[in-house]
């Protein structure tokens, strides 16, 4: 008999015994009890409900200010040599965008239109910071406005 087969035949009873025992790495689940409460909804809608106009004012300011400043910066810097048409062509989206805007495929946007496109792209990316900042600061603004209103009375 080959040594490998001999080793296998000697271990076979151990393997059969191990396979016969149930093995569970996880403890059994707890018995069902009362249903867990639904998770609280958060985000912009909850902030708007809780803080009302202070959240809306903050979010609006955080949206308009970067849009206006980035548009002014792109206009003053002559778009910094950036051309959104190159990006649209690289993404194979020029025909789609121009078709949606009703522009002919050979159209060239004016410099102010290019600045507007770049400012909008920049402002869209800024959403990653804008919404969390507005959600975090809205309660503080609401409290400050309420304190100011109490001080005036």
Residue 89 or residue 7, greater confidence: 89
Cβ contact 74:115 at 8 Å: yes
Asked whether the CA dihedral 73, 68, 110, 87 is positive or negative, the reply is: positive
Residue 49 or residue 68, greater confidence: 68
Over residues 66-90, the mean pLDDT reads 85
Question: Quick one: pLDDT at residue 18?
Answer: 53
* pLDDT tens-digit series, residues 80-105: 887 777 877 877 878 877 777 777 88
* pLDDT tens-digit series, residues 112-138: 887 888 888 888 889 899 988 988 898
Cβ contact 105:98 at 8 Å: yes
């Amino acid at each position: 008999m080959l040594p490998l087969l001999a080793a296998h035949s000697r271990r076979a009873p151990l393997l059969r015994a191990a396979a016969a025992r149930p093995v569970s790495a996880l403890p059994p689940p707890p018995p069902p009890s009362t249903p867990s409460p639904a998770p609280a909804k958060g985000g912009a809608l909850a902030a708007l409900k809780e803080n009302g106009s202070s959240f809306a004012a903050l979010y609006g300011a955080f949206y308009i200010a970067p849009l206006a400043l980035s548009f002014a910066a792109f206009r003053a810097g002559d778009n910094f040599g950036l051309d959104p048409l190159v990006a649209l062509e690289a993404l194979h989206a020029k025909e789609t965008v121009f078709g949606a805007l009703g522009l002919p495929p050979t159209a060239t946007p004016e410099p102010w239109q290019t600045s507007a496109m770049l400012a909008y792209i920049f402002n869209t990316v800024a959403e990653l910071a804008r919404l969390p900042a507005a959600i975090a600061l809205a309660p503080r603004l609401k409290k400050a406005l309420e304190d100011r209103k109490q001080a005036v009375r």
